[in-house]
Structure 1
Amino acid sequence: MLTIGIDIGGTKIAGAVVASDGRIVEERRRATPADDVDAVLDAIAGVIEELAATHPARAVGVAAAGFLDAQRSRIVQAPNLAWRNEPLRERLEQRVSLPIVLENDANAAGWAEYRFGAGRDVAHMTMLTIGTGIGGAIVIDGKLFRGGFGGGAEPGHTLFQPGGLPCGCGAVGCFEQYGSGSALLRMADEAADAAGPGSALASARGSEPVLPASALIRLLEDRDPSALAVLERLGENIGRGCASLGAVLDPERFVIGGGVSVAGELLLEPIRRAYFAAAPAAEWRPRPDFRVAQFANDAGVIGAAELARAEAPPS
């Protein structure tokens, strides 16, 4: 049985027809229209109609960034589209003749990994998506955890450093200020300042006000010691943040996704080391393992389609 998955990004809308084994059959992409809700909805509907025209799909799953209501019918707040209290499910169902299942994008990505990817052989999984911030998905006993109001599974906004750096959410000291891709670039800039003008990091920054991500990636690819030291610090921060999550959730596996995860073992090794140093009663508690996510940019559409398959009403 085929379903369609849609992933609404700030710059693009990705859509795919997905088989019951998680395989992508066909996909489409469109630019996300700027600042116009109706234009975005029309673009999403257009992608759905194109895919459904050649593949008889039973339902559509839609993954969107931001906070959803408990019924998963409305986007309460979406940072990349400036949506507020938008009844997305209802408005899409008015445009297409298929049932819509709405989900947070990080939850959808985590569900793809749990069903078909790096978490497929465990019942308890915690996924962190390391990007500009830190997204997350929590699977407990084979079920996605969303919380009582639909806004759970936000590990990036757990407290990491009391009185620490301000966060865009309005709090201070949030985990994502210390364990995200943005944090990696900030720490690289700080290291460049500390090392001085002749250092590899400062030279890579050149005349730019901040070190470009592309320059840091090149240094990491070249195994520059100063860049690797910054990545190690990031991994240690992620490991300590995971230790706090592990004390509450006790997952069998942590899955690390997002752009930074391409570093593989260079990132996972300091994560593991810091986790087991910080985890309570680590000497006798069973140890979770840590793996890199499998699906990269396809996780959102695969997970959304699989949730639609499981949750859409029978046709």
Structure 2
Amino acid sequence: MKISEKKWVIPELSENSEINIKQGFHPVLGNNKLEGDYENNFYPNDTLLTSNKNMMLLTGPNMSGKSTYMKQVALITILGRMGAPVPASYAKIGVIDRIFTRIGAADDLAGGRSTFMVEMTEAAKILHKSTKKSLVIMDEIGRGTSTSDGLALAIAIATEINKVNQSLCLFATHYFEITELSKQLKGVENFHISTKERDDQIVFLYELKKGPASKSFGLKVAKLAGIPNSVLNYANSIKLPTNHEILVETEQEISKNILEQNKGMEIINEIVNIDPNVCSPKLALDLIFKWKKSLDS
């Protein structure tokens, strides 16, 4: 789509929890003529968030356009609820009580907070305050700490937003393991910003497509930024495959774990209340068989 072909329309407003945008584009970026082939290769993107499909998981390499796309959706939502024209061919915007964002990475020197502490504080506010009618934008949550802790936190936060808060959510991440959430949780769909490799170079297409990204292209982006080849070659030689297993519990697994914990507590309480001075060998053996039977059932 050429810039000259883009349109602004008056959106439909509804009382439901939904955001439906067809051929949307960034209201600022889409009206600036940039260098390169941007003029003739502008990709408008669709967005559909409803109470039944409330989370879009976005994957793709750095610079592919994930953050820009999410900001685009937020700006169109604000304009739409104002009653102003929006940059799209069609838009239907439901009631949105608040827009929460967790984007960027910066510390708080005056407040004595590290980058990760700022990130977690903002995430905590979102988890405590967002509702079914909120729009939540989470950009690479968990990146300020170790990979294992960051992945675990990202999975837990995404699950909480989906199941408890039930907010409309755009969730961008580099943790490909999180894409498994679409198989575990209702309302979660995978999307990626498409890219191509050409002559050992990465080409950003800025086009939103269904499904998870195939890989991160981190070294390719580093090459674009001017990292020396010696560093890139060494990084490639020591790069390790990811072996993280996603630990997402289904409803049945959660119920099973709670039941097992309850059984364990009952047995512990019985042990605490036993007086070993009056417990005969036969009674002790009977109790052991009883506890084993309870745990095996």
Shorter-chain TM-score above 0.5: no
Larger radius of gyration between Structure 1 and Structure 2: 2
TM-score, reference length from structure 1: 0.27
